Amino acid sequence: MTKFFLAPDVNFEILSNMAKHDPDLSLLFHALSDPTRRAMLTRLASGPARVTDLAEPTGLKLPTVMRHLSVLEEAGFITTAKDGRIRTCAIVPEAMEPVRTWIDEQRAIWEARLDRLDAFVMNVMKENGE
């Protein structure tokens, strides 16, 4: 019987992928981990908005909304500008690129693993006459 290794280089592959990423990737994922912040980003994807407009659908108090916006701004997902008493937020689309790159790399790793699993299963079925 032929032996197949589904993930012969798992530990090295994972460690090398982790090492080559910017440590700010954790900051980006932290910012995306909250549903309120994701909803705010979704709203901002259609254009700039005032803080009060972002706060209204959440039902949250303004200080809480400001903390969420601060997390998004620290991660680089948004910029804010103040004009008098009005603070406007805008999305920074290119800030999502490191997240997209990481996800694409993980997808490639898992697709390769699943391809190896498929080859293994097909080989076992062939050997068993199925």
Q: Per-residue pLDDT tens for 58-111?
A: 999 999 999 999 999 999 999 999 999 999 999 999 999 999 999 999 999 999
Note the maximum CA span of the chain. Answer: 77
- What's the pLDDT score for residue 6? 53
Whether CATH 3.40.50.1860 fits 10-127: no
Residues 69 and 54 sit within 8 Å (Cβ to Cβ): yes
Q: CB–CB of 71/37 below 8 Å?
A: yes
pLDDT value of residue 24: 82
pLDDT per position as a tens digit, 3-16: 545 555 544 445 45
**pLDDT at 113 (0 to 100):** 92
Task: Let me know if 54 is exposed, middle or buried by CB neighbors in 10 A (0-12, 13-18, 19+).
Answer: buried
CA-based torsion, 32, 37, 39, 41: positive or negative: negative
* pLDDT for the residue numbered 15: 45
In tens, the pLDDT along 13-69 reads 454 555 455 668 999 999 999 999 999 999 999 999 999 999 999 999 999 999 999
Looking at residue 17, its pLDDT comes to 53
SS3 125: helix
What is the DSSP-derived secondary structure letter of residue 128?
Answer: T
The angle, 0 to 180 degrees and rounded to 10, between the axes of the packed helices 10-19 and 97-127 is 170
Q: How many angstroms separate the Cα of 3 from the Cα of each of 8, 34, 109, 122, 123?
A: 12, 44, 20, 13, 10
The Cα 62–Cα 21 span in angstroms is 34
Query: What's the pLDDT at 7?
Result: 52
